[in-house]
Structure 1
């Protein structure tokens, strides 16, 4: 890394830390900041996600640099640090827990030799998760901190830590319905819950988009609390989208928004609606797909219903096949990065997670709330269970 680029980065962190009175970034002098060690990956973010394979070990790398060369060798080690993970969870609204000992291997020695700026890439091994870990539904991470063992150049406080998000490939079963199952959470009806802001998410696969007004999610109530996510427009194929491939939000006061991205049949895809109390924002497969201003106010969840009838008295789902997984309701605004990083799994203990259905029971037509808050989903429809689905699969064959 060039010296002046690093100075700019140090200035940025100085401002963040409130050190503007000590460091003037307009005419920064390198000597003012001294020489520091840092993790290169931490310059562009506080974390990275690693997919952990189902067997054996998976590997990632980190790079340790100095802001200037040293006349002597400097020796470091990477250690795990719970406080780093706690801070990450607090800032990002996540619920990651520490990867257990025995499921990772850190480099034993890290040396930046005299006259050099950096080490070779450091290899970090992550071991395949146990069945117990995968069934727990927890999200795991490895928070590391760079520590000086011998030498004179200390790690930078901000860029000397990093969080590796360890996402395992999960094998699961999912229920397949033919036509609308109309999954209902009766607890919301019996004891409605009101949120000033919220996020609704679901991952699913449909066989076709052959008709309009196919409801993915409904929340019955007055105009102030009305929510309907449905396949609707366009009414016929056009140069941009296939007919009925846009999942539209019809919300407060019957205001609506069509997303700028469409759904494709026969593929696993993700839908998220985020409401901050004054606007709706739709995400399709983690991509920001449109925002709509709405009258300010809270929303009461009183009649939660997944994949139900639309506004008509009969189901427009017809004989369309539906596979579903990872449905959630939050009482917080989820950010784009949170949505993108947690499509296939999230910790049931995550802050603001009010209801979470993983649909991985493997049998029956009753689906438990993984949060333990009792928002059980039920249906009179009988699904066909499809086994052996991997969280990394782009599509699942129909039965």
Structure 2
């Protein structure tokens, strides 16, 4: 085999990983074996959910009684015989993970979990085993806001099959949290409210609003450079609460009623990606005042604002682009422009002006029977495509596409002393 000369202008700081890949490719090129049905590298088995990282958060609401996690065994490439794989919980790894995490968590007691099976088979010619379910029970007996470790590892595999060291174990951090632990993803999705549509008998509950408060808890994963607007909720060109606008910072909150926009652009008022925020806007159409709050603190205010006309969030007649939506405002759904690329929960509509104190004290939960609350979507379902309206009005929200409910959610509570 002829060795090609490497040009001297190739940077000397080529990554170690890249060098290893190049070396492996050279080895394969010099090997005459037919790898159409095999690999030049040793086969190995690993846990699917540990492929990227070997620590996972299993965080749940403090009222949750049961839960589950799923995993399976995977081969790097198909074997020529069945591979038996055994899982086990390994207490000896507690010290290792505590040292890595800088923690002192106890191991989860065995009475709180049960495996559907601890023995699986990866069939000949396949790479995946059946799914193993770890069922958790009696979770309300755990101390609130206390973390426990559950390290699950592959004990052994038959046929002398090796184990992929960095991915043979998944360590669950189990936490019964006092925080919100469920939110829905709005990436490439949004929710609409059929009950707000024209001629719906329940649309009037959000019509004729002389006072209005919008609230939501949001986390933006990414502010897309090509997307100027991240919609929180409302109606395009009528009454909209969002982040960004044309010629306006895409990370700053903006409210627009009848296309009258506020506040002014301010680089000191930017929200950061990957951080949870409670956001709210209040609008008094008669007093002609409006205010924006972030985490219960006043961020922006304006006087002599708006047209003085009441707000009607129901009975719009200009088509789907101008209906009330959560997470999207305008454009073809397939295009998904102006959507909020992140998660949302605790979405509320009021027909009263909530005070700064009321907003701050009730950022993470509020009694659905509170006077003035006209729609309340907690987004705590954790599955499905419907978000229940917790008020007596019953205006459930419906996802445009299949809803995704990310795991490991824990909303930071910023109003705790």
Under a length normalisation based on structure 2, what TM-score does the superposition of the two structures give?
0.48
Higher gyration radius (CA): 2
Under a length normalisation based on structure 1, what TM-score does the superposition of the two structures give?
0.50
